[in-house]
């Protein structure tokens, strides 16, 4: 144990292990922190902030500054951020180009309503739709992923004149009153009357689900689970689609659902990937019954999966509606819904307005993010570094029995920790927490998710390097050895 001075208050922290595994070099020097002490921050939080807010770690991190893939706490300790503010920091913390465009725009025109013309929203809408295939040409700008999915529900219902919405169990689509019903995870659902018309299909998880195995995923790393599929045809896909068909048969009036929602890879649910061909089969089924397919790209968009700019492209479809947020603004509050002109006309039946959506500053940030991804080749980096990371993690899985599964594409990665007895039984919360905190003590920040909280979520800024991966693997190996 060690006493660490924080402002005028000393608190006891766990032993510092960071000196045992050196972080990759970085010549950035953070500013000296001069704000409230840790204890003062704790008191302010308890007295004035939402009591439902949760914090990571038994002793929460108090972060002060960021630079590229690095974060600094109020004591100037450096951490490698392999979680990217929950898959949100896409091009790097405090990117100088974003700082420059925000400063320039806010000193010129910070906000006007969209009942007036201003250049940036028009420039950005054109740039964004140029990145999308087909006739996805109309943009609604919003401020978050929850807002985007909420609007997509309205669009689908208004266009089809149908009401029912289908999504996948274990999926996460937001925490507004309506998207809470779309989200099929009880951890994020309050015991209040839920919005009507939402149905949840069986989650096609080839590791933890009923069907699937080592031939089923579009990933550099396959699950070790035995599989009855051939290398050319996925039987698991067919069986899960049969379950989706039963939702239509037994639960949907006239089989006419308004829409089917799916993340391209489930994010909060633990980087879950579906059997190859499942999303394409679901798309075909939805279209057969006159519905719309909504692709939730809040976490998988903007080059993160490496091979494609959008996650839905790896499934071989063009959705009717695409929702996006998080990485779209590199942490700036920005989201969007993109659809076709025909579907967009549906919202002209009544007035539609968003006060802050597409304001001059957020539009300038959005343009800058697109520029940076292209100029710094971050999609290509996601593929190269992400594949390198997945291959290294695969070796950890082979070495440690408590690493049950490694999955993902690009820099959208999940590692599932299990009891280590050959089953998929989740590792105990106490051991997951010990592993997680050991990583933090060694200077590594990673997320966790999945229903049981046993899936490590690795979704860093897309500027990370192979040296960062080597450090990450060294830290994870040491933390695994300690549990």
Nearest to 114 by CA among 351, 326, 333: 351
Q: How many CA atoms lie within 13 A of 461 on its CB side?
A: 26
d(CA 307, CA 328): 18
Q: What does the pLDDT read at residue 231? A: 64
How far apart, in whole angstroms, are the C-alpha atoms of residue 116 and residue 71? Answer: 39
**Mapping DSSP to helix (H, G, I), strand (E, B) and coil, where does residue 359 land?**
coil
Distance CA 381, CA 410 (A): 8
On whether the CB atoms of residues 259 and 166 are closer than 8 A, the answer is: yes
Please give the Cα distance from 463 to 92 (Å, whole number).
6
pTM: 0.94
What is the token pair recorded at 118? 């201003």
Q: What is the pLDDT of residue 6?
A: 37
What's the CA gap between 96 and 421, in Å, rounded?
Answer: 48
CA distance 135 to 320: 9
CATH numbers and ranges of domains, the chain: 2-81+378-482 (3.90.1150.10), 99-375 (3.40.640.10)
Characterize the bridge pairing of strands 321-324 and 259-263.
Answer: unpaired
- In our burial notation (b when 16+ CB lie closer than 10 A, e otherwise), range 456-479 reads bbbbbbbbbeeebbebbbbbbbbb
> Tens-of-pLDDT digits for all 483 residues of the chain?
333 333 433 333 444 554 589 999 999 999 999 999 999 999 999 999 999 888 889 899 999 999 999 999 999 999 999 999 999 999 999 999 999 999 999 999 999 988 899 999 999 999 999 999 999 999 999 999 999 999 999 999 999 999 999 999 999 999 999 999 999 999 999 999 999 999 999 999 999 999 999 989 999 999 999 887 876 778 999 999 999 999 999 999 999 999 999 999 999 999 999 999 999 999 999 999 999 999 999 999 999 999 999 999 999 999 999 999 999 999 999 999 999 999 999 999 999 989 999 999 999 999 999 999 999 999 999 999 999 999 999 999 999 999 999 999 999 999 999 999 999 999 999 999 999 999 999 999 999 999 999 999 999 999 999 999 999 999 999 999 998
Q: How far is CA 42 from CA 49, 249, 288, 433, in A?
A: 10, 53, 54, 21
Ramachandran area for residue 141 (φ above 0: left; ψ -120 to 50: alpha; else beta) = beta
């Amino acid at each position: 144990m060690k006493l660490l001075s924080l402002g005028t208050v000393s608190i006891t922290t766990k032993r510092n292990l960071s000196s045992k595994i050196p972080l990759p070099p970085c010549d950035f020097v953070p500013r000296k922190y001069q704000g409230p002490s840790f204890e003062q921050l704790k008191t302010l939080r308890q007295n004035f902030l939402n009591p439902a807010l949760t914090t990571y770690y038994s002793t929460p991190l108090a972060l002060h500054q960021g630079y590229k893939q690095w974060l600094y706490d109020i004591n100037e300790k450096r951490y490698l951020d392999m979680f990217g503010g929950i898959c949100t920091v896409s091009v790097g913390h405090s990117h100088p180009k974003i700082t420059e465009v925000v400063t320039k725009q806010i000193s010129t025109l910070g906000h006007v309503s969209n009942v007036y013309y201003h250049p940036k929203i028009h420039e950005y809408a054109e740039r964004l739709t140029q990145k999308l295939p087909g006739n996805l040409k109309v943009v609604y700008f919003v401020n978050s992923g929850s807002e985007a999915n909420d609007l997509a529900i309205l669009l689908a219902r208004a266009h089809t004149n149908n009401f029912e919405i289908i999504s996948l169990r274990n999926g996460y689509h937001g925490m507004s009153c309506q998207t809470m019903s779309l989200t099929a995870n009880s951890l994020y659902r309050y015991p209040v009357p839920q919005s009507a018309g939402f149905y949840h299909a069986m989650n096609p998880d080839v590791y933890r689900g009923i069907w699937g195995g080592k031939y089923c995923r579009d990933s550099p790393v396959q699950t070790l689970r035995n599989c009855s599929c051939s290398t050319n045809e996925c039987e698991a896909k067919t069986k899960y689609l049969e379950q989706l068909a039963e939702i239509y048969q037994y639960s949907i009036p006239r089989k006419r659902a308004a829409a089917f929602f799916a993340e391209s890879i489930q994010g909060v649910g633990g980087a879950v990937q579906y059997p190859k061909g499942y999303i394409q089969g679901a798309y075909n089924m939805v279209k057969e019954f006159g519905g719309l397919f909504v692709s939730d790209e809040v976490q998988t968009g903007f080059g993160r999966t490496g091979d494609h700019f959008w996650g839905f492209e790896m499934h071989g479809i063009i959705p009717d509606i695409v929702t996006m947020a998080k990485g779209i603004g590199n942490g700036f509050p920005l989201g969007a819904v993109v659809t076709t002109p025909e579907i967009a006309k549906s919202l002209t039946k009544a007035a539609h307005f968003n006060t802050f959506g597409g304001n001059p500053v957020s539009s300038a940030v959005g343009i800058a993010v697109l520029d940076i991804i292209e100029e710094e080749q971050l999609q290509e980096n996601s593929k190269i570094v992400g594949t390198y990371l997945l291959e290294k993690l695969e070796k950890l899985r082979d070495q440690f029995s408590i690493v049950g599964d490694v999955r993902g594409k690009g820099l959208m990665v999940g590692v599932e920790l299990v009891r280590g007895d050959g089953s998929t039984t989740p590792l105990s919360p106490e051991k997951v927490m010990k592993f997680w905190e050991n990583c933090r003590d060694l200077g590594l920040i990673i997320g966790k998710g999945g229903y049981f909280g046993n899936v490590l979520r690795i979704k860093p800024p897309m500027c990370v390097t192979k040296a960062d991966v080597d450090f990450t693997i060294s830290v994870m190996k040491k933390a695994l050895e300690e549990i």
